[in-house]
Amino acid sequence: MAEWTTYFEGSNPPEKYVENRTRIKEFVSRHSKEGRRLVLVTSGGTRVPLESRTVRFIDNFSVGTRGSVSAENFLAQGYAVIFLHRLNSLEPFTRHFSRVNFLDLLSLTITADGSTGVQVDPQHTSKLVRVMERYQQVKETDTLLSVSFLSLSDYLYLLRAAAEAFSHIGPAAMLYLAAAVSDFYIPHNELPEHKIQSANGPLQITMQMTPKMLSPLVKEWAPQAFTVSFKLETDTSILIIKAKQALQKYSHQVVIANILETRKMTVTIVTRDEEEVVLMSDSELDTGMEIEEKIITDLVRRHQKFCQGS
């Protein structure tokens, strides 16, 4: 039996799984009928529990900037977006205000009759209007479906559900897998039920390898889709080698290679035939431009060609 089948057999689906799977299917079917291309954007880190009634867990650095900015750019390019994100990580549109106390965006007003109201503080109005205009348009067209997960297992169940929904629309679907997914986990049946007691002394844990879901995703769940995976490293000398190995192993279309510290300044778009370095200049960064704009423009062009060739 394949490793990934054993993984799903040994874990439970997340809460509201059936409901979310239905929402995803309906979203895909509606937008596909309306002739839109669709993309699944995965975003944020995954939580790996150490106890079944979880007090402690292992997590990672990802805050969801890549995914949330990319989702906005796909929407701007006319895609319908399923945004599968880690709960409480950054989300499209609201991310612009994630570091501000929203109360500081507002000020109190008192009218002539003495009643009190609130208004947007003038210094924040123009930014709010810019974001609101784009958000409003997305709401009107209903082109963004947000689905959240918390644990590794929740993520994998929902990833499979979305990929399977995409299997009905062939090459018009793109999978953009930017989430930072844990490579290690403790199987459900090996987790202690209760909080691990420090009185028992130093903790030693053995974790299993998470099955590489890119394999069934490309071969079985959504074989006709345009699939983009990410490769993050901290050692520049192995980055491109590992990106190419992934392409060879899984036979998908694109790997975006990035280094932890420079991921907002440069990435390399790696395909079977080429490596394209995407770089942000200081002046572009100063104007607030984000690297995802360049990445998505490039991928939309590649996806277009992929659809024409299919």
Contact residues toward ligand PAZ (CB under 6 A) are 62-66, 178, 180-181, 230-232, 258, 263
Please answer whether residues 37 and 172 qualify as being in contact, where contact means their C-beta atoms are separated by less than 8 angstroms: yes
Smallest distance from ligand PAZ to CB 33, Å:
32
Identity of the residue numbered 268: T
Residue type, 23: R
**Residues whose CB falls within 8 Å of the CB of residue 100, separated by 6 or more in sequence, listed in order:** none
Give ∠ CA 64-151-91 in degrees, rounded to 5.
Answer: 25
Q: How far is the CB of 12 from ligand PAZ (least distance, A)?
A: 24
Nearer to ligand PAZ by Cβ, of 38 and 177: the residue is 177
Q: How far apart are CA 217 and CA 103, in angstroms?
A: 44
Closer by beta carbon to ligand PAZ, 162 or else 180: 180
Nearer to ligand PAZ, 65 or 151 (CB): 65
In whole angstroms, give the CA distance from residue 274 to residue 269: 8
> Minimum CB separation from ligand PAZ for residue 45, in Å?
7
CB nearer ligand PAZ, residue 35 or residue 61? 61
Contact 268/240 with Cβ under 8 angstroms?
Answer: yes
Give the three-class secondary structure for 191.
coil
Query: Do β-strands 254-259 and 184-185 pair in parallel, antiparallel, or remain unpaired?
Result: unpaired
Nearer to ligand PAZ, 33 or 99 (CB): 99
Q: How far is the CB of 63 from ligand PAZ (least distance, A)?
A: 4
Quote the least distance from Cβ 58 to ligand PAZ, whole Å: 14
Shortest distance in whole angstroms from residue 254 CB to ligand PAZ: 13
Tell me whether residue 69 is exposed, middle or buried, using C-beta atoms within 10 angstroms of its C-beta: 0 to 12, 13 to 18, 19 or more: buried
Nearer to ligand PAZ, 28 or 154 (CB): 154
How large is the angle between the packed helices 65-76 and 122-141, nearest 10 degrees?
70
Task: Please name every residue paired with 148 in a beta bridge, in sequence order, or none if there are none.
Answer: 85
